[in-house]
Structure 1
Amino acid sequence: MKIGLVAQRDNSRAVEVADTVRSALVADGVDCRLDTATATSLDVPDAGSEIESFDECDLVVSIGGDGTFLFAARAAGGTPMVGVNLGEVGFLNAVRPENAVNAVRETVAAIRKTATRSGRHPDSRRPAAGSKARPRSTRSSSTGRGGATAAVRPSRLPSTAQRIRRATPTAC
């Protein structure tokens, strides 16, 4: 299992929490990657990876505020995320720093349990040998026609200008 850790830049507290989480996970036998800035701060450059490669991880942990979470989410793609909130007001990060290790361990256990049930080896992104399970897909698809079997396509979000026009009472 691969975990990506992203700590808020220029925040020593975020780096400390990342080091604590990383140490606990490595002791549990989990492969941890750090973003390059955090790896440099912790003086473990060989544990650092470009954040763009974190979409290959099984879980990404963001440590900081909402901005750090959004920064990590952009690189993580469809990878599950856990956010550790170090700010005063945060809406995206649900975990407090003192609960970070336990929350991440519980999430890792849940991912492994779900992966085992699906016939996929828990420490790999590919199905286990001999398994009929297929790798996860990032797109919805269907072989049927219309009705309940129609493919669900993600709709494009409206631009900021379109949202403002819709929210304004005088909009046409």
Structure 2
Amino acid sequence: MDAAVGIVAQRDNERAQGLAAKLVETLERGVDHGGTSGVETVVDDATGEAIGEPAVPVAAMADRDLVVSIGGDGTLLFVAREVGSTPILGVNFGEVGFLNAVAPADAVDVVTDLVSQRRETGAFEGRKLARLEASAPDGDWTLEPALNEVVVHGKRRGHGGGATIEVRVDGDQYTESRADGVLVATPTGSTAYNLSEGGPLVHPSMDALVVTQMAAADAMPPLVVDPETDLELTVSGSDTAYVINDGRNRQQLEPPATVAVSLADDPVTLVGPREDFVESLGKLE
């Protein structure tokens, strides 16, 4: 069974774009890999303009069998938002690479091996990464799923910009304090914003979520909970507030307001080699 492959290169990164061009040539023409010729490929709009190949918006790659993300973790987060549960392979042009386990020098071999695997078995072997969904309890709004974290904060971070935020866990109050904000992170997101706010690292094999306060006046320790836990964050004491997922999508709130945070229905699917989590930790500053 052949595979239709989408390729997304980090914007304005000539090395990433060059690798995208090499992958297109290899997969479509079988250059140096005779068994992969004839695979249908397409690249994202910006890459297509740079390398002169057929291009579509990244969101249009959701019907592909595989999407290759070439860049840092930020590029893969963007790709995941756009293509949902479509299998993704991450090629690392960033510095740490928690999500991108494939080195650029290995990318052609890994991608062609995956295509061969699909031809033989009809599927890719992958692992699921949980995503979070933030919504109003009354269903008035729902943000797109977040792979890293959901953050609730006041009108701005810092002096005079915080809010009072109550955290309820399965209906019971865990904490209520004046704070810059509160975040709920997945294991994937534990190495990102959560870590910078003093939250714990969570091994990617764990099935858990982390609740971490941000510069709280009366702080409680970060709390690790089961992913099925009913989490509600209620914000008050501010004339406006926001809920933001993965630092990108946001919903303005009119306090007092409550945000429900739960697992999204569709996780992200990563394929290919797994990152060495412990080794990647050594690259953190």
TM-score under structure 1 normalisation? 0.69
> Which of the pair has the greater relative contact order for Cα pairs under 8 Å at 6+ separation?
2
Matches of 1:77 and 1:155, distance apart in 2 = 12
**Contact 2:16/2:71 (8 A) holds in 1:** yes
- Aligned match of 1:18: 20
Matches of 1:85 and 1:170, distance apart in 2 = 30
- Alpha carbons of structure 1 residues 51 and 155: separation in structure 2 relative to 1, 3 Å: closer
Task: Give the 3-state SS of the residue equivalent to 1:100 in structure 2.
Answer: helix
Question: After the TM superposition, which residues 16-165 of structure 1 pair with which residues of structure 2 at under 5 Å, given as runs?
Answer: 16-27=18-29, 28-44=37-53, 47-115=54-122, 156=133, 159-160=150-151, 161=182, 163-165=211-213
- Alpha carbons of structure 1 residues 156 and 71: separation in structure 2 relative to 1, 3 Å: closer
**Contact 2:9/2:47 (8 A) holds in 1:** yes
Matches of 1:59 and 1:16, distance apart in 2 = 19
Q: Does 1:169 align with 2:217?
A: no
Structure 1 residue runs of 4 or more that deviate by more than 3 Å after TM superposition: 154-160
- Alpha carbons of structure 1 residues 86 and 159: separation in structure 2 relative to 1, 3 Å: closer
**Contact 2:212/2:221 (8 A) holds in 1:** no
- Alpha carbons of structure 1 residues 156 and 10: separation in structure 2 relative to 1, 3 Å: closer
Matches of 2:27 and 2:91, distance apart in 1 = 15
CA deviation after TM superposition for structure 1 residue 112, in Å: 2.4
CA deviation after TM superposition for structure 1 residue 75, in Å: 1.4
Aligned length: 132
- The one-letter code matched in structure 1 to 2:80 is A
Task: Give the 3-state SS of the residue equivalent to 2:52 in structure 1.
Answer: coil
Instruction: Give ranges in structure 2 of 5+ residues lacking alignment.
Output: 30-36, 124-130, 135-148, 152-181, 184-210, 214-218, 224-285
CA deviation after TM superposition for structure 1 residue 164, in Å: 1.5
The structure with the larger Rg is: 2
- Bigger proportion of residues as strand: 2
Identity of aligned residues (%): 42
* Deviations 1:99-124 (CA, angstroms, capped at 9, x unpaired): 100000111122222218xxxxxxxx
Matches of 1:112 and 1:87, distance apart in 2 = 31
Instruction: Give ranges in structure 1 of 5+ residues lacking alignment.
Output: 117-153
- Aligned match of 2:9: 7
- Bigger proportion of residues as helix: 1
Matches of 1:11 and 1:106, distance apart in 2 = 25
Task: Give the 3-state SS of the residue equivalent to 2:12 in structure 1.
Answer: coil
TM-score under structure 2 normalisation? 0.43
- The one-letter code matched in structure 2 to 1:63 is I
**Contact 2:5/2:68 (8 A) holds in 1:** yes
Matches of 1:77 and 1:53, distance apart in 2 = 11
Matches of 2:105 and 2:116, distance apart in 1 = 19
- Alpha carbons of structure 1 residues 101 and 155: separation in structure 2 relative to 1, 3 Å: closer
Task: Give the 3-state SS of the residue equivalent to 2:70 in structure 1.
Answer: strand
- Alpha carbons of structure 1 residues 55 and 168: separation in structure 2 relative to 1, 3 Å: same
Task: Give the 3-state SS of the residue equivalent to 1:87 in structure 2.
Answer: coil
**Contact 2:8/2:68 (8 A) holds in 1:** yes
* Deviations 1:143-170 (CA, angstroms, capped at 9, x unpaired): xxxxxxxxxxx985784325214x9339
